[in-house]
Amino acid sequence: MAASGRHLTALDPSSATIDNDYYSLIGDSWWDPEGPLRALHDMNPARVRYFDSTVRARLGEDRSAVRVLDIGCGGGLMSERLAELGYSVTGLDLSEGSVETARAHARSTGVEVTYQVGSAYELPAGDGSLDVVLLSDVLEHLHDLPGAVAECARVLRPGGLLVFDTINRTAASYLMAILVLERLLKIIHPGTHNWRMFIRPRELHAALARHGLALAKPRGLAPTAPRHRLLAAIVRRRPLGEFGLTSSTAVSYIGHAAKTGTDEPGRAQP
């Protein structure tokens, strides 16, 4: 693919085609570390570490006092891990099937999470009622990014955090996420990503700033294995191994943004 500026310009996401319905059909495979979503299992430990350390640094060490809304929670991979750490977590997803899977898994493990069926564009929370909004592997699936960001800003209290990970829109991400992982090897289900919906950090910065959310410098998120081992794992359709933070945001990146305004007494300022 040519890496010209014209070809690296996003279409209006509302007109882009993407298969979000696939996630309703996965069922218990959400929790299979070698199943169709094995890449998410590989990424999860690094993502949980980043989200947890960021929230504790910004909002204090008492996890039980932090109200988290996990938007696009799917089968509960992130919601359950954060609840295990002690956070008060509500998982939200438009897919009834995914929410049922999440509820069933939480019952089987005894982890306390509240799950609801709902939309990122109409969040079931009052104005300024939440400490943290989580969008993990979600931003690149949204047809109305400004609408979702506006809702996140509405429900966050001043000083609250939006934490996320997503995919950059670059030639490198097209090569890896679309051509190799999706179309060639089908490690990612074909059609569940649309490269034109991927988001550049500066675009996300602008969208967040319009709603009073100050984006900190994002970090890259990538496998830590040497390239030859990573290639072997991809070809053999095996887990990619541990992920870690990097300086390159060329493919995937992770970050957080704080809602501006006066914080609550006793809370650390971002």
Domain boundaries, the chain: 18-259
Q: What is the pLDDT of residue 232?
A: 66
In this prediction, the residues of the chain whose per-residue pLDDT falls under 70 are 1-15, 18-19, 225-241, 262-270
Q: What is the pLDDT of residue 242?
A: 81
Q: What is the pLDDT of residue 100?
A: 96
Q: What is the pLDDT of residue 14?
A: 62
Q: What is the pLDDT of residue 228?
A: 59
What dihedral do alpha carbons 140, 144, 148, 151 form, nearest 10°? 180
Query: May I ask the CATH architecture of the domain 18-259?
Result: 3-Layer(aba) Sandwich (3.40)
Q: How far is residue 176's CA from residue 151's CA, in Å, rounded to a whole number?
A: 31
Q: What is the pLDDT of residue 204?
A: 98
Which amino acid belongs to residue 58?
R
Q: What is the pLDDT of residue 238?
A: 64
Q: What is the pLDDT of residue 197?
A: 94
Beta bridge partners of 132: 68, 161
